[in-house]
Amino acid sequence: MTAGPGGVKSGGGSGRSQGGKVRVLTARKRKNSSNRWLERQLNDPYVKAAKAAGFRSRAAFKLAELDERFDLLRHVTRVVDLGAAPGGWCQIVQKARPKAVIVAIDLLPIEPIAGVTIFEQDILADGSEDLIRAALGGPADLVLSDMAANTVGHRMTDQMRTMGLVETGLAFAIDLLRPGGAFVAKVFAGGADPVLVAELKRHFAAVKHAKPPASRAGSSEWYVVAQGFKGRITPVAALLPTAAGGMDDISIEETSA
């Protein structure tokens, strides 16, 4: 590979413009979408900050910012991280509360993290909840879910699939949380659907949506933050689809930069 004008390598790779911004050069077989993703990663300040801080992903800052706004990690002693790979959220919890019991589960492999019990398993597999419960050694203070379904490019379908994961996370939270505990889950633009919001309100004293600064401005990603778990409640039969609620019926919070 030879160097082109100004020392920028030709034939693919990345170069640095005069303004210090990394520019990805197009390779013959590299798709434009791949170039855009790589260039965005190379120039993303959160990616750079995560690397400098030793965090495994920029997503670590999302939890840090949510904690700053909602005080999620104060006094927690037991935390569950659903869909935890690659482990950035676990790192934030461990850094804030090094003595806490942290249990992570994901179908994808997660490299070991000091102080974190990791299960490489589908959360829907038989026995997953029992594994988590045994590892916790008591009720959880906080259940986290940064899970998102693989997208198919159809907005409504993608949102419905992600809502299914939020419902799964909520079911785990209801079973594992202590009274007063909290649940955080990823949703997309439009927030949790009305039936899910109604169920969250039944189980938690406060339900809000937030978009932390670390979520890219162009992303439809938001988070639902439910605090003040009321304890187990006998479920309403089949969660009637006419349940009231929705984005217009909850407090909307956007964290400040």
Catalogue the active-site residues. 186
Residue 120 scores a pLDDT above 90:
yes
Query: In the chain, where does DSSP find H-type helix?
Result: 32-43, 45-53, 59-70, 88-96, 128-136, 155-176, 194-203
Write a three-state SS string for 232-254. Answer: CCCCCCCCCCCCCCCHHHCEECC
In CATH terms, the superfamily for domain 59-252 is Vaccinia Virus protein VP39 (3.40.50.150)
Q: Which residue has the tokens 């509360």?
A: 97
pLDDT category, 24, cuts 50, 70, 90? very low
Which of 180, 3, 175, 181 is closest to 79 using CA atoms? 181
| Sign of the torsion formed by the C-alpha atoms of 37, 43, 45 and 50 | positive
Buried b (16+ CB within 10 A) or exposed e, 170-203: bebbbebbeeebbbbbbbbeebbbbbbbbbbbbb
pLDDT of residue 169: 96
pLDDT category, 215, cuts 50, 70, 90? confident
User: In the chain, what percentage of residues exceed pLDDT 70?
Assistant: 68
Beta bridge partners of 186: 223
**Mean pLDDT over the full length of the chain:** 78
| Sign of the torsion formed by the C-alpha atoms of 108, 109, 114 and 117 | positive
The mean pLDDT of 3-16, rounded to a whole number, is 37
Buried b (16+ CB within 10 A) or exposed e, 208-239: bbbbbebbeeeeebbbbbbbebeeeeeeeeee
Q: What is the DSSP string of 134-174?
A: HHHTS-EEEEEE---PPP-S-HHHHHHHHHHHHHHHHHHHH
Q: Where do the structural domains in the chain lie, given as residue ranges?
A: 25-54, 59-252
Cα-to-chain-centroid distance, residue 161: 15
Which of 23-37, 121-135, 184-198, 239-253 is predicted least confidently? Answer: 239-253
Residue 220 scores a pLDDT above 90:
no
The mean pLDDT of 53-79, rounded to a whole number, is 92
